[in-house]
Amino acid sequence: MDRPGQHRRGVRQWRGGARSVPSRPRGGPLLLGCRLRLGGVTVRLVEVEAYEGADDPASHAYRGPTRRNAVMFGPGGHLYVYALHGSLCCNVVCGPEGVATAVLLRAGEVEEGHDLARARRAERRAAPVADRDLARGPGNLCRALGITAADNGTDLLEGGSVRLLPALRRPATLGIGPRVNVSTAADRPWRFWDATSTAVSPFKRHPKALAD
DNA sequence: CCGGTGATCCACT
DNA sequence: GTGGATCACCGGA
């Protein structure tokens, strides 16, 4: 099993590997099974989606640095948080510094802190939330964890508000497919999920999805 | 399926 | 500074 130190090396290795592998998004699956912890809530990641920078029209970094995407251009291992349609979404920045690449965290299973997560989800929802739905979907995952805009840029590996913890187990079966609801570069198979998990969000194709 | 949502970006005063 | 378009979403029917 991974120990924290090994995991840390693993992430750095992944970031380093991105320099030698043209297709950075291939690093995405290494996050599956890892855990994200904030306060009393821990979520095991079961679905992620990769975004490159200059070569990826669907990426926030495609048109260069702005105030919103600044963290994407910084060093890997930090959290990029942004607002979308009244929700927040979060990414793990992959680095290296100056090269914008990030992995969107799309869904997870709550391992710890179900009551707190459920209370947060209930603030915006009338119907009761089943366990498997607590962190299902990018906005829901952020809400379950209590991530806010103040967590943008936090260091996930040391000293930050949000911690990335090693995987205790890896998905037995890896799903790979197109990204959800993106209007451009729609067919790049850069969404990765744990095919044994029921907490993976449903696939949706964007109405105006262009291929490349 | 559909409508609400609100931050962000850019082109234009 | 303003207006409009865009958007990696969610909830309820």
Tens digits of per-residue pLDDT, A78-122? Answer: 999 999 999 999 999 987 889 999 999 999 999 999 999 999 999
Q: Of residues A96 and A64, which shows the higher confidence score?
A: A64
Following DSSP, what letter does each residue of A24-80 receive, concatenated? Answer: GGGGGGGGTT-EEEETTEEEEEEEEEEE-STT-TTSTTTT---TTTGGGGS-TTBEE
Is nucleic acid strand B under 7 Å from A62's C-beta?
Answer: no
Is nucleic acid strand C under 7 Å from A207's C-beta?
Answer: no
pLDDT value of residue A133:
98
Which residue segment(s) compose the domain that A110 sits in?
A: 4-194
Bases of chain B within 7 A of a CB of the protein: 4-10
A211 located within any domain? no
- Number of domains chain A is built from: 1
What CATH number should be reported for the domain holding residue A66? Answer: 3.10.300.10
A199 located within any domain? no
Looking at residues A126-140, what average pLDDT do you find? 98
A33 located within any domain? yes
Strand A87-93 and strand A79-84: the pairing is antiparallel
- This prediction's pTM: 0.91
